[in-house]
Structure 1
Amino acid sequence: MTDGQDRAWAELAGFYVIEPERDAAVTSILPGSAIDPATVWGRSAPLVVEIGSGQGHAIVHAAANHPETDFLAVEVFRAGLARTMLDADRADVRNLRLVEANAPEVLQHLLPAASIDELWIFFPDPWHKNKHNKRRLVTAEFAAIAASALRGGGMLRLATDWQDYADQMRDVLDDSPAFERAFEGEWAERFDGRVVTAFERKGAAKGRHIRDLTYRRRP
Structure 2
Amino acid sequence: MSEAQERAWGELAPRYVIDVPRDAAATSILPDSQIDPAAVWGRDAPLIVEIGSGQGHAIVHAASSRPDVDFLAIEVFRAGLARTMLDADRAGAGNLRLVEANAPEVLEHLLPAASVDELWVFFPDPWHKKKHTKRRLVTGEFAAVAATALKDGGVLRLATDWEDYAVQMRDVMTGAGDFEPAFTGEWAPRFDGRVLTAFERKGARVGRDIRDLAYRRRARS
| TM-score, length-scaled by structure 2 | 0.98
1:120-153, Cα deviation, whole Å (9 max, x unpaired): 0000000000000000000001000000000000
**Aligned counterparts of 2:189 and 2:146: Cα–Cα separation in 1:** 22
Q: In the alignment, what sits opposite 2:46?
A: 46
TM superposition shift of 1:196: 1.1
Please show how residues 109-148 of structure 1 align to structure 2 within 5 Å: 109-148=109-148
Q: In the alignment, what sits opposite 1:199?
A: 199
Q: In the alignment, what sits opposite 1:100?
A: 100
1:30-57, Cα deviation, whole Å (9 max, x unpaired): 0001000000000000000000000000
**Aligned counterparts of 2:172 and 2:146: Cα–Cα separation in 1:** 12
Instruction: Compute the RMSD of aligned alpha carbons.
Output: 0.4
Consecutive aligned runs of 4 or more in structure 1 exceeding 4 Å deviation: none
Please show how residues 142-181 of structure 1 align to structure 2 within 5 Å: 142-181=142-181
Q: Unaligned regions of 5+ residues in structure 2, if any?
A: none
1:56-113, Cα deviation, whole Å (9 max, x unpaired): 0000000001000000000000000000000000011100000000000000000000
Q: In the alignment, what sits opposite 2:26?
A: 26
| TM-score, length-scaled by structure 1 | 0.99
**Aligned counterparts of 1:98 and 1:33: Cα–Cα separation in 2:** 16
Identity %: 76
TM superposition shift of 1:201: 1.3
**Aligned counterparts of 1:129 and 1:199: Cα–Cα separation in 2:** 20
TM superposition shift of 1:198: 2.3
Q: Unaligned regions of 5+ residues in structure 1, if any?
A: none
Instruction: Number of aligned residue pairs: give it.
Output: 219
